[in-house]
Amino acid sequence: MKKSLDKSIIIQEALKELPSPARRLFLKRTLTLGGLSLLSGCTVTDEESAERMLMKISRFNDDVQAWLFDPNKLAPTYPESMITKPFPFNAYYGRDKIPEVDGADFLLEVSGLVADKHSWSLAELYRLPQTDQVTRLICVEGWSAIGKWGGVTFATFLKRIGADVSAKYVGFKCADNYYTSIDMPTALHAQTLLTFTYDGKTLPPEYGYPMKLRMPTKLGYKNPKHIVAIFVTNTYPGGYWEDKGYNWFGGS
Amino acid sequence: MSLNKTVIHPVWLRANHWINLIAVVIMVLSGWRIYNASPIFAFSFPKQITLGGWLAGALLWHFAAMWLLFFNGLMYLFINIVSGRFKARFFPIRVRDLLNDLIAALKGKLAHDSLYEYNAVQKLAYLFVIVDLILLVLSGLVVWKPVQFPLLRELMGDYDNARIVHFFAMVALLAFAAIHVVMVALVPKTLIMMIRGR
């Protein structure tokens, strides 16, 4: 586990070096109408200013969504008969790249604005009060699927680690080098679960073993799988897709 | 007749119309790109005519232009209703006029002698597109925020169905636009009017 974590940190570091060329690619792609420039004779500077404007509006949309988000409003739940079978596998890589995490010596790292920073074994996590729910997962691409996830209410976990719930963000690092972050009100929502099971069985690798944060109030890319570290912070942590231009709040 | 009285389309309406066109074009072209990420039906829109380059880019455009469409539409409804123009221009619509005008239109004999008044078919078409745009906004709200708008979600028949409603409302908007452009081409004076106001 230690070894795989080191590897993940190295890749995380390497990814940090990526943003500028990746962003430039994003710029070029955003304004393009198919292969043609939207405005003829449009210079890169124009594209950059259009891109900046779009990103500003996306940040504004984060604020609007935070304002629209009602912590007491529950996402619809469904009968088990409506569960989508088979539940689709989805990641930024193919099935052959699904990370293999060894549960026996697994430790979940906890850091940032929390009172108790000890790392959690899976056995400890499984001893927390467990619940489950059947909800609809909506992908940013538009498709949706109904599934049943079980685990501990995330608010309960945050309380156990003595998290500063007045902090702005909760960030997640994953064994597949995915990373994302959410707002505190969503982290504390009654249906936000740190899940260890899918459809009553231990979460299989394709759905995010050893754990997935499941939020029916957010789009799929905000629901991280294979979580290895959780941190509470006031510094905007971004996310894998969010840094490429997807909306950060990503709420449903 | 004073100049003021000859103005058929006040300046706010003309500005509103062209802003709406820009918003609709951005919404439709980026919407097609979003549709392509997970098509509802067995076809995709040709990439060359979509906006945004990839899903994230299309979403950025879509969720930016939605404000333009929304506030411009709200402004249209507000000024139109408060000024009394809405009632004066669109009502009453009589079924008999509608049938007569429809038959005349199909025969290619629809009278355009007075541009100061909408004929019954026009009234219905413009009311239709207003309602359709409202439906686009409401179904779009459900696709965007199904958890936050439970009543709308149930009215649309849950998330997946809201996508279908959103799609067909777009198709209806395009059908309107196609007929609208053909009619304008047949009576080019109306285009000048939407630019100069008279």
d(CA A84, CA A164): 37
pLDDT tens by residue, A202-251: 999 999 999 999 999 999 999 999 999 999 999 999 999 999 999 999 99
Could you report the predicted ipTM of this complex, rounded to two decimals?
Answer: 0.91
Is the distance from CB of A228 to CB of A108 less than 8 angstroms? Answer: yes
Is the distance from CB of B169 to CB of B136 less than 8 angstroms? Answer: yes
pLDDT tens by residue, A30-88: 555 544 455 445 555 677 888 899 999 999 999 999 999 999 999 999 999 999 999 99
Flag whether residue B160 sits within 8 Å of chain A, measured between CB atoms: yes
d(CA B2, CA B107): 36
Residue type, A168: K
| The CATH number of the domain covering residues in A2-244 | 3.90.420.10
d(CA A8, CA A176): 8
Q: Which residues of chain B have pLDDT under 50?
A: 1-4
Flag whether residue B22 sits within 8 Å of chain A, measured between CB atoms: no
Whether A140 and B55 lie within 8 Å, measured CB to CB:
yes
Q: Would you kindly state where each structural domain of chain B is located, as residue ranges?
A: 1-91, 93-198
Flag whether residue B179 sits within 8 Å of chain A, measured between CB atoms: no
pLDDT tens by residue, A136-194: 999 999 999 999 999 999 999 999 999 999 999 999 999 999 999 999 999 999 999 99
Q: Which residue has the tokens 């680690």?
A: A161
Whether B56 and A241 lie within 8 Å, measured CB to CB:
yes
Closest CA–CA distance from residue B132 to any residue of chain A (Å): 22
Is the distance from CB of A192 to CB of A157 less than 8 angstroms? Answer: no
Whether A55 and B159 lie within 8 Å, measured CB to CB:
no
Closest CA–CA distance from residue A184 to any residue of chain B (Å): 17
Question: Taking Cα atoms as reference points, which of A181, A190, A191, A183 lies closest to residue A224?
Answer: A181
Closest CA–CA distance from residue A68 to any residue of chain B (Å): 7
Torsion angles phi and psi, residue A193, rounded to 5 = -120, 140
| Terminal C-alpha separation, chain A | 35
Beta strand extents in A18-130 (DSSP E only): 32-33, 36-37, 107-112, 120-121
Single pTM value for the model: 0.89
Long-range CB contacts for residues A117-122, cutoff 8 Å, separation at least 24: A117/A161, A122/A196, A122/A210
Q: Which chain A residues are closer than 8 Å to B59 by Cβ?
A: 140, 246-247
- Give the 3-state secondary structure of residue A134: strand
Q: Which chain B residues are closer than 8 Å to A36 by Cβ?
A: 48
